[in-house]
Chain A
Amino acid sequence: MFREKLILGAAASALVMSGPATADMDPSIGFYGTAGLIEMPTADMLPDAELSISYSEFANAENIAVGFQFLPQLSMTYRIQRLSSFGFDGGSRYDGIWDINYQILPEGEYAPAVLIGLRDFLGTGETAGQYIVATKTIADQLKLSVGVGWGRLGDTDEDQTDPDISGGSLRLDEYFTGDTAVFGGVEWKTPIKGVSLKAEYSSDRYFQENEAFIATNPPAFDRKSDWNYGLEWQTPLSLNVGIYQMYGDTVGVRIATSLNPRRPRPQGYIVPAPLPVQPRDQAARSDLSWLERPNVETVAANALRRTLAQDGIRVTKIKLTGRQVDIYVTGGRSIAAARTFGRVARALTYVMPESVETFVIGINNAGMETVTMKINRTQFEAFELSPDGVQQSARSFELGDAPLNPPGFTAFPGDFPRFRWSIRPYLNITLFSDGDQPDVNVGLSGSMSYQTSEKLRFQTTVRVPVIDGDSDSGDNAGPNESIYFTEFEPTLVNLRGTYTTKLGEQLYGTVSAGLLATKWAGIAGEIIWKPAAQRWGVGFEVGHVVRRDQDTFFELEDEDATTGHLTYYYDARNGFDYEVSAGRYLAGDWGTTVAVDRAFDNGWVVGLFATVTDLTAEEFGSGRFQKGFRIAIPLGWAIGTQTRRVIGSSIASTSGEGGSKLGIPGNLYGSVTSHQTDAVSGTWGTFWQ
C-alpha cells in the first residue's frame, strides 16, 4: 500500500462552486438556549433539527440549556437553572424549565421575522415570561430586534410567585396578562471573522431579586442600567463563546455549541465498499444438476459465512430450491436497515448457482423473524449499473412479513451458549421538581449476558458509583454543596432472564423475570402486533413487581405493584413517530403517556414525552405531570464508522413513582420494526452502498 501526498494548487481553480445566494447572518444563541440576543429573545429560528447545548452565567444564576429545533418554525428548550444564594437560607435552588418558541412569520425581503414565545411555560411563575418579537436583518451584517414582553419580561413590580400554585401545569389564563414592556436590541457581525457585538435593552426588571422577598440576602447584583452589552466569538471548533456586561453592574458569560443530524460530520460515514454484483453465465441458467449434490444448503452457508462476517451478518437458516433461495440472517453492523439486504444480495450473486433466480432475504432480530425481501436476481444485476436502478429497485423489491415457522429450512443456530461482558462508565442525573440539587452519579457499570439461543438471554448489571452528588447523602441545603466520593459500594441494577419470540406472522412477544430494574423485581411481558408495511401497531405490556430493598442485593420489601399499558404506535413517515399509551403506572395511578419523536434515518432521535395521571398535584409533587425529552445519537454518526451503538439519554423531571412505567427489558418495538418498511424505505440508498 502506498500513498502520495499531493498539494492541489492551480488545479483547484477548476472549482467554480458557488453556494445559493443567502448571505444571511447565522442566528446566534442567547442566554437560554434558543436564538436570542443576550437575555432577550429574537425572532430567529435555528436551522431545522438543530440541537443546541449552552451554558450561561451571570450574578447568581446559571443555566444549562438543551434546545431542539423540533420543526422549522418551532423550537423547544429545556434548561436547568441554578440560583445560588437563594432565599432566606442562602442555599441553592434548582429548577427544570421549559421554554417554547414559535415563529409566526419568517423573515422576508422587507418584512421582519415575527415570533411568539413562552419562557418557563410550565413553571411556578417566578421565571415565566411571554413575548412577541420581530427581527430584521439589514445589509447582511446587522440584525435589529424589537419585542413586547409580559410576565417576567413585562413591566412588573409585583412578586409573580403565587404560593398556591404548584408548577408543572399549563396556566393558559395567565399567559400574556398584566402590564407589558418593550425590549429590543441589535447584533452586529463585525468585519473580524467570527466576532459579533450585541447590545440589548432589557425589560426584565429583576424586581424579585433586587427588591422583593430576597432582600434578606444582599441582592445578587445591582440593576443600574437597562442595557446589556456583549462580545461573541465563534471559535473554529464550533463553540461559541460570549462575554457580557450586564445591567451596568456585573459580568456574564455564555458558551454554546450545536449539532445537527443533517449536517455531516467532517469525515461522514465510512462504510467499506460492497462486493460488485457478480453477473451470471447465461448458458448455465438451466443447469439444475447441482441440486443432486448433498448438503447444498450447508455448503452455501459456509461459503457465505466469511463474506458476510465482514459486515457482522450471520446466516441463521437457508432453503435452496432450483430457482429460489430463502435465507434468514441476523446481525449487521449497520444502523441503516436497507444496507443489510444489499450486502446479503451481493454475496448471494457469488454463491448461488446460475439457475437461482429469486433471492428471499429474511431478517432475524433478537430471535424473531420479522420481514423478508424478495429480490429478482436478473433485475438486481441490471439495477446495479442502470442510470435509475436505485429508484427502480425500491419499487421492484417487495418487503413483507416473515412467515411463522416456514418449513423446509436447514438451520444454522450459531455459537450458543454465548457469554458476553462489558464494562463502561455511566453518568446518571436525576432532577427533582422541588428545587433540590440534582443527583449526579458517575461510575462504572459492568454487564454480563449469557444467551442460550437467539431467543433466551440472562443478564446482570452491576454499578459501582465513583462520584456521587446524591442530595440524600449529605446536607446540601446549605451553601456547602459538595460532591462525594463514594465508598465504591456496588448496586445490583438487574439480574433477569428475557425470552423473546415471534408469536404469529405479525405478532411478537417478550417476557422477563427476576430483578427487573433498580427498584423492582418480578415478572413483566409485552406483546406487539405490527405488520411490516403498516404505519401503526399496537402493544400491550403488563407486569407484577415487588419493591426491592435498596440496601441489599436480593431482599424485597413488603410492597408490590401491578402495572400495565396499552400502547398505540404510529409512524407518520415524515420523520415523526408517535406513541400513545394508557394504563396503570407504578404508584397505582391511572393515566396516559404521549411521546413524539423526531427520528432521522441515520439513527438520530430527539423526542418529547409527557404523562398525566389521576394523582392529585399533592400526591404527585410540584411537577404535576411527568415530562421530559430523550435524545439518541448513533455512535457511528459521531465517529464516522459503522456501529449500531447509540448514545442515548433521557431527562425527565421526576417526583416519585407517579406516572412512571416499569420499562420492559429489551426494546421489543425497536426489534420488531428495525427492518420493516419504514426503516428500509427511509434508508434505501444504503441498499446499494
Chain B
Amino acid sequence: MMIRKILITAPLIVALSGCGINIGTGSARGNFGFNTIRDNIQAARGRNTPQEEGAQTKLTRDVVNGINRQIVQISLSKYGTKTVFTRAAVRQGAVTYLSPQKQTVTVQGGRVIRTRGLPFDLLETDFRNDADRVYRYLNAANNITELRVSCSRETVGTEAIEIVERSYTTTLVEEVCRSSGVAFKNRFWTQGSTIWKSEQWIGPNHGFATIEKLN
C-alpha cells in the first residue's frame, strides 16, 4: 500500500544523507505524501485510526479544504470508480498524480501523457503535432501498440459544472480524434487557464479517464 512507499522513501533519504551521499534536489523529492491526505481526511472526520481504510467515504469540500497538497479525482469509464490522486512529482511541466493503489497518471498541459500501474498502460504520447497525435500503449501480449489519430478542436460553449460541492462556470472545449479503427471525443471544461474537469481517451482498453481538479 501507499503507506509503505513513504516509509521507503523516507529512510532512503535518511540513510543516504547520513552517510554523505546526496540524492538530488529536484522538486519531486519527498512528495509521496499520501499519509498526509489520509491524516487530513481522518482528522476532518474526527478519527485517527486507520481502521476505515478501504471503506467508502463521501468526499466533501471540508475534507478537500483540509488537504494542503494538490489533489485530483480520477475515474476510468470502464470501472466507474472515482479515486483521489495526489500530486507526487512535477518535472518539465508534467505533473504525476499517485493513487493509494499505486497507480500514476501524468498530465502535461492539461493532457494525460502517461499512465502507470493500470492494466494496459498508456506508455507515451506524442502530441507535438496537435492535429496528428500518437498514442503508444501496452497490449495483453506485453508488446507496444501504436495508434495514430487525427484531431480537431472546437469551443462548444459555456457550461456549469460542480465538483465536490463547488460550482464553476466553464468553457467546454471538445476535441474529436479519428483513425481508421477508432474515434473518440475528449472534453475539457476550462475557466481561464485552469482546466477544472476533463474527459480524455487513454487507450482502447480503458476508454476515458475523467479528471476533476479538487483544489
Chain A residues in the interface with B (C-beta under 8 A): 1-8, 11-12, 14-20, 261-265, 267-274, 276-281, 284, 287, 289-290, 293, 295-296, 299-300, 302-303, 306-307, 310, 336, 349-354, 385-390, 600-602, 604, 637, 640, 682-686, 688-689
B164 closest partner in A (C-beta): A4
Tell me whether B21 and A351 are in contact (CB under 8 A): yes
Q: Which of A273, A287, A310, A385 contacts B22 (CB 8 A)?
A: A287
CB distance from A449 to the nearest CB of B (A): 29
Q: Which of A20, A284, A350, A386 contacts B12 (CB 8 A)?
A: A350
Cross-chain pairs A/B with CB under 8 angstroms, 24 sampled: A1-B54, A3-B83, A4-B59, A5-B80, A11-B77, A16-B185, A17-B183, A19-B181, A264-B140, A272-B103, A273-B102, A273-B103, A273-B117, A281-B24, A289-B20, A293-B21, A306-B11, A353-B23, A387-B124, A390-B144, A601-B141, A601-B142, A601-B143, A683-B142
B residues 23-40 touching A (CB-CB < 8 Å):
23-29, 38
Tell me whether B12 and A8 are in contact (CB under 8 A): no
Contact A685:B59 (CB < 8 A) given known A6-B81, A268-B205, A385-B91: no
Residues of chain A contacted by B124 (CB below 8 angstroms): 386-390, 688
B16 interface contact, C-beta 8 A = yes
CB distance from B95 to the nearest CB of A (A): 10
Residues of chain B contacted by A17 (CB below 8 angstroms): 182-184, 207
Complex CA–CA separation, A170 to B74 (angstroms): 61
Contact A300:B21 (CB < 8 A) given known A263-B140, A264-B120, A601-B142: yes
Tell me whether A310 and B4 are in contact (CB under 8 A): yes
Complex CA–CA separation, A284 to B98 (angstroms): 28
Q: Which of B4, B9, B119, B144 contacts A270 (CB 8 A)?
A: B119
| New contact pairs (8) apart from A2-B58, A280-B24, A602-B142, CB-CB < 8 Å | A11-B199, A12-B77, A293-B20, A351-B12, A352-B23, A390-B123, A601-B141, A602-B140
Tell me whether A261 and B140 are in contact (CB under 8 A): yes
Residues of chain B contacted by A5 (CB below 8 angstroms): 56, 80-82
Residue-wise, chain B 121-138 has the 8 Å CB interface mask toward A (1 for contact) of 101111110000010101
Tell me whether A276 and B140 are in contact (CB under 8 A): no
Chain B residues in the interface with A (C-beta under 8 A): 2, 4, 8-9, 11-12, 15-16, 19-29, 38, 41, 53-59, 75, 77, 80-84, 88-89, 91-92, 94, 96, 98, 100-104, 106, 108, 113-114, 116-121, 123-128, 134, 136, 138-144, 176, 180-185, 187, 199, 205, 207-208, 210
Residues of chain B contacted by A390 (CB below 8 angstroms): 123-124, 136, 144
Contact A265:B140 (CB < 8 A) given known A1-B100, A353-B21, A688-B123: yes
Residues of chain B contacted by A386 (CB below 8 angstroms): 124
Residues of chain B contacted by A389 (CB below 8 angstroms): 124
Tell me whether B28 and A276 are in contact (CB under 8 A): yes
Contact A307:B8 (CB < 8 A) given known A278-B23, A278-B28: yes
B100 closest partner in A (C-beta): A1
Instruction: Give the interface centre of B12, B27, B53, B101 by most chain A CB atoms within 10 Å.
Output: B12
Tell me whether A16 and B183 are in contact (CB under 8 A): yes
Q: Which of A15, A263, A350, A689 contacts B207 (CB 8 A)?
A: A15
Tell me whether A262 and B56 are in contact (CB under 8 A): no
Tell me whether B24 and A276 are in contact (CB under 8 A): no
Residues of chain A contacted by B199 (CB below 8 angstroms): 11, 14
Instruction: Give the interface centre of A7, A336, A350, A686 by most chain B CB atoms within 10 Å.
Output: A350
A-B complex: 5 closest residue pairs judged by Cβ atoms: A268-B119, A273-B117, A2-B57, A273-B116, A264-B140
Tell me whether B184 and A16 are in contact (CB under 8 A): yes
Complex CA–CA separation, A176 to B108 (angstroms): 65
Complex CA–CA separation, A279 to B27 (angstroms): 8
CB distance from B137 to the nearest CB of A (A): 8
Residues of chain B contacted by A18 (CB below 8 angstroms): 182-183
B56 closest partner in A (C-beta): A3
CB distance from B158 to the nearest CB of A (A): 18
Contact A276:B21 (CB < 8 A) given known A264-B139, A269-B119: no
Complex CA–CA separation, A279 to B90 (angstroms): 10
CB distance from B21 to the nearest CB of A (A): 5
Contact A302:B15 (CB < 8 A) given known A276-B89, A276-B91: yes
Complex CA–CA separation, A12 to B184 (angstroms): 11
Tell me whether B21 and A273 are in contact (CB under 8 A): no
Tell me whether B117 and A270 are in contact (CB under 8 A): yes
Complex CA–CA separation, A264 to B54 (angstroms): 27
Residues of chain B contacted by A637 (CB below 8 angstroms): 140
Tell me whether B21 and A8 are in contact (CB under 8 A): no
Tell me whether A299 and B136 are in contact (CB under 8 A): no
CB distance from A7 to the nearest CB of B (A): 7
Contact A262:B140 (CB < 8 A) given known A5-B81, A18-B182, A272-B117: yes
Complex CA–CA separation, A263 to B204 (angstroms): 13
Complex CA–CA separation, A155 to B172 (angstroms): 72
Tell me whether A388 and B56 are in contact (CB under 8 A): no
Tell me whether A262 and B139 are in contact (CB under 8 A): yes
Tell me whether A1 and B53 are in contact (CB under 8 A): yes
Tell me whether A299 and B183 are in contact (CB under 8 A): no
CB distance from A458 to the nearest CB of B (A): 34
Tell me whether A264 and B119 are in contact (CB under 8 A): yes
Residues of chain A contacted by B140 (CB below 8 angstroms): 261-265, 268, 602, 637
Complex CA–CA separation, A271 to B101 (angstroms): 10
Complex CA–CA separation, A375 to B190 (angstroms): 40
Tell me whether A685 and B123 are in contact (CB under 8 A): yes
Complex CA–CA separation, A615 to B200 (angstroms): 66
Tell me whether A4 and B58 are in contact (CB under 8 A): yes
Tell me whether B183 and A4 are in contact (CB under 8 A): no
CB distance from A16 to the nearest CB of B (A): 5
Contact A682:B119 (CB < 8 A) given known A303-B16, A387-B125: no
Residues of chain B contacted by A303 (CB below 8 angstroms): 12, 15-16, 21
CB distance from A352 to the nearest CB of B (A): 8
Complex CA–CA separation, A458 to B101 (angstroms): 39
Residues of chain B contacted by A640 (CB below 8 angstroms): 119
Tell me whether A388 and B91 are in contact (CB under 8 A): no
Q: Which of B77, B103, B128 contacts A15 (CB 8 A)?
A: B77
Tell me whether A15 and B23 are in contact (CB under 8 A): no
B15 closest partner in A (C-beta): A303
Tell me whether A276 and B88 are in contact (CB under 8 A): yes
CB distance from A643 to the nearest CB of B (A): 14
CB distance from A389 to the nearest CB of B (A): 6
CB distance from A121 to the nearest CB of B (A): 30
Residues of chain A contacted by B98 (CB below 8 angstroms): 273
Complex CA–CA separation, A262 to B120 (angstroms): 12
Q: Which of B55, B116, B142, B181 contacts A336 (CB 8 A)?
A: B142
B25 closest partner in A (C-beta): A281
Complex CA–CA separation, A344 to B83 (angstroms): 28
Complex CA–CA separation, A11 to B161 (angstroms): 12
Instruction: Give the interface centre of A289, A600, A689 by most chain B CB atoms within 10 Å.
Output: A689
Contact A281:B26 (CB < 8 A) given known A12-B77, A385-B94: yes
Residues of chain B contacted by A280 (CB below 8 angstroms): 24, 26
Complex CA–CA separation, A262 to B15 (angstroms): 44
A355 closest partner in B (C-beta): B22
Contact A350:B82 (CB < 8 A) given known A8-B77, A15-B184, A16-B184: no
A689 closest partner in B (C-beta): B121
CB distance from B208 to the nearest CB of A (A): 7
CB distance from A217 to the nearest CB of B (A): 50
Tell me whether A385 and B108 are in contact (CB under 8 A): yes
Residues of chain B contacted by A270 (CB below 8 angstroms): 117-119
Residues of chain A contacted by B12 (CB below 8 angstroms): 303, 306-307, 350-351
Instruction: Give the interface centre of A7, A18, A263, A279 by most chain B CB atoms within 10 Å.
Output: A279
Q: Which of B15, B26, B141, B187 contacts A299 (CB 8 A)?
A: B15
Residues of chain B contacted by A336 (CB below 8 angstroms): 142
Complex CA–CA separation, A565 to B78 (angstroms): 52
Tell me whether A4 and B20 are in contact (CB under 8 A): no
A276 closest partner in B (C-beta): B89
Residues of chain B contacted by A296 (CB below 8 angstroms): 19, 21
B16 closest partner in A (C-beta): A303
CB distance from B106 to the nearest CB of A (A): 8
